Amino acid sequence: MEHKMQPAAKQKQQIKMVTGGNVTTPKGYSAGGLHCGIKKYKLDLGWIYSDVPATAAGVYTTNQFQAPPLKVTKESIAVENKIQGILVNSGVANACTGQPGLDAAYKMRKLFSKAIGVSEHLVAIASTGLIGTQLPMDRLEAGIDQMGAKENRDTERFEKAILTTDTCTKNVAVEFEIDGKKVTIGGAAKGSGMIHPNMATMLAFVTTDVNVAPQSLHNALKEVTNRTYNMITVDGDSSTNDMVLVLANGKANNTELTESHPDWDTFVNGLELVSQILAKKIARDGEGATKLIEVHVNGAESDIAARKIGKAIISSNLVKTAIYGSDPNWGRIVCAVGYSEQPIDPDKVKVWLGPTLVVDNGLPLFFDEEAATEYMMQETVQIVVDLQQGDGSAVAWGCDLTYDYVKINASYRT
């Protein structure tokens, strides 16, 4: 095959997956979840707690209708770049709720800080669910009062409590060495619809026991987000509530990490691997989805151009429906490349559907359509585009568009 695939992360040392790992795999974290009555039956209130205040960094939706929980969480982190507890509710987004919604967000933070015995600015909050509905604060307050119950203190319950239309929980953890000490990064996420980040209807919570300087952690998260969470799409919609939070509590007792530390690249690679896995799980769990689409763009003028072209392809409803129908319709792919508004030379473009080269230097090739169709019936469909113009490259992830997506979203409120 003439094209090359990008590695998941460029690793100077081996980064190992932790079997059964999750957001509480790193030292010093616990989590839980319960049903407080925001939803009819399912768990709807979850929390993460660090034994000590953790250095924190966040990235947030670019939607101008930012929900009150994001505003409150930003304020908390701004005080001293520390967070010790995260409280998340599902079922109600507390977005487009005006002053009452902002008051509810502050009260949510206050109640949780009191329950875990920390200052209010050490608490982050997040909400996901229906837009335009006020939080039922009486139920939420009653739920916070129940958090101490032993049966509620379970990481899997947290993973379930943050879901909305998701069909499954999403978790991961990796381990590697910093200063010769074993360190861990874990994560949990939710997301299924309204996914087109810069950010999207997604929440991701990443924890680590690494000691990291605040500004360096922020820089790493921003860098990694551009290559992972911001490279997925489900339906082109960007939500009001999305955020990714990273907590680093330093329990591994390594020398404080900054960009000048010899193991800095390893840490960033570990953070990227965790984020990429969570992002791919979100894309694969798109509402009604049956397949994960992975688009590799190589040979672009820049990485930024490659990212925009990759997002154009996975955002195309025509590409997504072709993937659903296992139709090797390469014309839809080159069409998306062409309208991406990025510099390309159409006479140099090459396109592969899995192992099959279907376009060479801008012209279609004869190929075995039966074999290509059979390949596209797989759960993961890979598209590779080589622009042959430079060294820029990127990977983007999305999902197919099915009848079930319409059914789910046609009756979301009812």
Helix (H) or strand (E) holding 182, with range, is strand 181-191
This prediction has a pTM of: 0.86
Lowest mean pLDDT among 19-28, 40-49, 129-138, 403-412: 403-412
Percent of the chain whose pLDDT exceeds 70: 89
Summarised one tens digit per residue, pLDDT across range 72-131 is 999 999 999 999 999 999 999 998 899 999 999 999 999 999 999 999 999 999 999 888
Summarised one tens digit per residue, pLDDT across range 359-413 is 999 999 999 999 999 999 999 999 999 999 999 999 999 888 877 767 766 655 5
Q: What is the dihedral of CA 317, 312, 232, 197, to 10 degrees?
A: -100
**SS3 at position 140:** helix
Summarised one tens digit per residue, pLDDT across range 144-197 is 999 999 999 999 999 999 998 788 899 999 999 999 999 999 999 998 644 444
**Average pLDDT across the chain, whole number:** 90
Q: Where are the domains of the chain?
A: 16-284, 292-410
Distances (CA, A) of 257 to 158, 221, 388: 29, 14, 38
Burial letters 101-140, b for 16+ CB under 10 A, else e: bbebbbbbbebbbebbebebbbbbbbbbbbbebebbeebb
Token pair of 316 as six digits = 């195309």
Residues recorded for the chain? 414
Tell me the mean pLDDT in the region 245-274. Answer: 97
Summarised one tens digit per residue, pLDDT across range 198-227 is 433 589 999 999 999 999 999 999 999 989
Question: Confidence class of residue 12 from pLDDT cuts 50, 70 and 90?
Answer: low
Q: Please count the CA atoms within 13 angstroms of the CA of 365 that sit on its side-chain side.
A: 15
d(CA 99, CA 95): 11
Tell me the mean pLDDT in the region 313-331. Answer: 93
Tell me the mean pLDDT in the region 229-233. Answer: 85
Residue 5 CB contacts under 8 Å (≥ 6 apart), including other chains: 296, 384
Helix, strand, coil share of the chain (percent; to 5): 35, 30, 40
Q: What is the pLDDT of residue 9?
A: 42
Token pair of 62 as six digits = 């670019």
Fold of 292-410: Ubiquitin-like (UB roll) (3.10.20)
Q: What is the pLDDT of residue 194?
A: 44
* Candidate CATH numbers 3.20.20.140, 3.40.50.720, 3.60.70.12, 3.30.390.10; the one for domain 16-284: 3.60.70.12
Active-site residue flag, 201: yes
Q: Which residues pair with 348 in a beta bridge?
A: none
Give phi and psi for 29, each to the nearest 5: -120, 145
Q: What is the pLDDT of residue 61?
A: 77
Question: Confidence class of residue 358 from pLDDT cuts 50, 70 and 90?
Answer: very high
Token pair of 278 as six digits = 């969570």
The residue annotated as part of the active site, out of 97, 155, 184, 201, is 201
